[in-house]
Structure 1
Amino acid sequence: MYINFIGIDGSGKDTIFNLIKEHYPAAVLTKEPGGTKEAEVIRDVLLNQDLSLKERESKILSLKSLNINKETSSLLDKAIEAIHEEGINRAEPFLYAASRSESIEKVIKPALSQNIPILGRRSVACSVAYQGSARNFGMKHIWDLNFPIIEKAYPTLEIFFDLPVSVALERLSGRTGKQDRLDTEDKAFFEKVREGYLSYYKDICPYPYVIIDASQDIPTVFQGVHNIVSNN
């Protein structure tokens, strides 16, 4: 069992994930970006809005001396080149793919080989939606960039928590925690993210998925998701 929980911030995916994981204490828990020491550095480069471009580049270069695989190293080189040419937004596709490469090779594939259940938050679907659709880098382009990384580690199921962006933003309005770099984008950006997700599942996604109405209350959503996961 390898199940990913996907949705824009405010969809409730993290709340449901935290409830579901209590029923699977032996499961490996993953997240994107992040999940390994190296991938956590990439997460900081991507999401920390206080870093300068020079600081981001320095952190990326520091990874080259660590135990990263060849695919990750190549993607980081492309990220540095993109930062030099167009800034951090253009480097996002390569950085998310690099983080994914590390997580899949060091966490997900070993767990799959040992038949250990995996519960994950976010996946390639997020890259297709955010960078492919909302950033206008092209959904197929982002998929093609990531395909060699994920082709032998597809989830057995992906659960997409869908709801109108206006509802998600209303839920988020009460949050007081520090925002990351992507949290500062406007409503139009997140509308394109949602459109990207729905297009991904309709036209690209090669593995099983289910779309949940996340506008319902948490107990209702949890019960539906719990039933789905239990039967997977």
Structure 2
Amino acid sequence: MFITLEGMDGSGKTTAIKTLKSFLEKQGYEVLMTREPGGHKISEEIRNLVLSDNAEGIHPWTEALLYIASRKEHIDKVILPALKENKIVICDRYMDSTSAYQGHARGIGIDVVDSVQHSVLDGCVPDLTVYFDISLEESNKRLTSRDDEKNRLDREGSTFKEKVEQGYKILINKYPERFKVVDASQSIKNVQEQTNKIILEAIKNYEKRKSNR
């Protein structure tokens, strides 16, 4: 089963993912945790480029296509081989990030970006996407309090981030059968418990559907 986690920067998804692997392994599942952009040697190189200050002023389509190229390598070299081994694959960000950030916030268009992604990625769509929902105000507050160095997208202005948030809401409405929403404004413990429950339930339902085929 292929599961992705999405949300605004500072939403807590990366923190939640830290306990998720051990939780699922205790349930008897073999789990691969990965991230985007990145997850593979070439993909990590593209990540370093596209998030660096050297990419300042990059054309929206160039930015989008770099993310998609990184994703293609990640899928072919990491994600699909793991799925073929019947592992649970959980990825921190995936195609919906490109649809929200470049498709909507950069003005290319979600449908256009989705069409390109489906073609390039051979229809490799997640079985479940968990969206970590927090307000833009809370997102900015958490980012400001973090000690780590901010990348180029972290430093984008409020107008851009508002459009990203709008993009995610559009995607949630567009793909309601795939998205589940976590209230990420709660405590870390509650967010982790929500996430674990949603994902374990989805895995059980996935296994039932497979056994009934």
Partner of 2:6: 6
Aligned mate of 1:36, from 37, 40, 45: 40
Q: How do 1:63-212 residues align onto structure 2 when only pairs under 5 Å count?
A: 87-203=58-174, 205=175, 208-212=178-182
Unaligned runs of 5+ residues in structure 1 are: 54-85
Provide the C-alpha distance between the structure 2 equivalents of 1:107 and 1:207, rounded to a whole number of angstroms. Answer: 25
Q: Is residue 46 from structure 1 mapped to residue 16 from structure 2 by the alignment?
A: no
Q: TM-score, normalised by structure 1?
A: 0.80
CA shift for structure 1 position 159: 0.1
Unaligned runs of 5+ residues in structure 2 are: 204-213
Partner of 2:195: 225
CA shift for structure 1 position 22: 2.1
Ranges of 4+ aligned residues in structure 1 off by more than 4 Å: none
Provide the C-alpha distance between the structure 1 equivalents of 2:37 and 2:165, rounded to a whole number of angstroms. Answer: 19
| Code of the aligned partner of 1:16 | A
Contact 2:128 2:179 in 1 (8 A): yes
CA shift for structure 1 position 165: 0.4
Q: Which of 23-32 and 125-134 deviates more?
A: 23-32
Q: TM-score, normalised by structure 2?
A: 0.87
DSSP 3-state at the match of 1:155: coil
Count of matched residue pairs: 198
| Code of the aligned partner of 2:45 | V
Deviations 1:159-209 (A, max 9, x none): 000111011111111112111111110111111101101101212x38622
Contact 2:3 2:90 in 1 (8 A): yes
Cα RMSD between the aligned structures?
1.8
Provide the C-alpha distance between the structure 2 equivalents of 1:52 and 1:162, rounded to a whole number of angstroms. Answer: 28
Provide the C-alpha distance between the structure 2 equivalents of 1:20 and 1:46, rounded to a whole number of angstroms. Answer: 28
Contact 2:118 2:124 in 1 (8 A): no
Partner of 1:215: 185
Contact 2:60 2:108 in 1 (8 A): no
Seen in structure 2, the aligned counterparts of structure 1 residues 52 and 147 have a Cα distance that, compared at 3 Å, is: closer
Provide the C-alpha distance between the structure 2 equivalents of 1:227 and 1:155, rounded to a whole number of angstroms. Answer: 18
Provide the C-alpha distance between the structure 2 equivalents of 1:176 and 1:16, rounded to a whole number of angstroms. Answer: 18
Provide the C-alpha distance between the structure 1 equivalents of 2:65 and 2:199, rounded to a whole number of angstroms. Answer: 31
Provide the C-alpha distance between the structure 2 equivalents of 1:143 and 1:215, rounded to a whole number of angstroms. Answer: 29
| Code of the aligned partner of 1:37 | K
Contact 1:156 1:207 in 2 (8 A): no
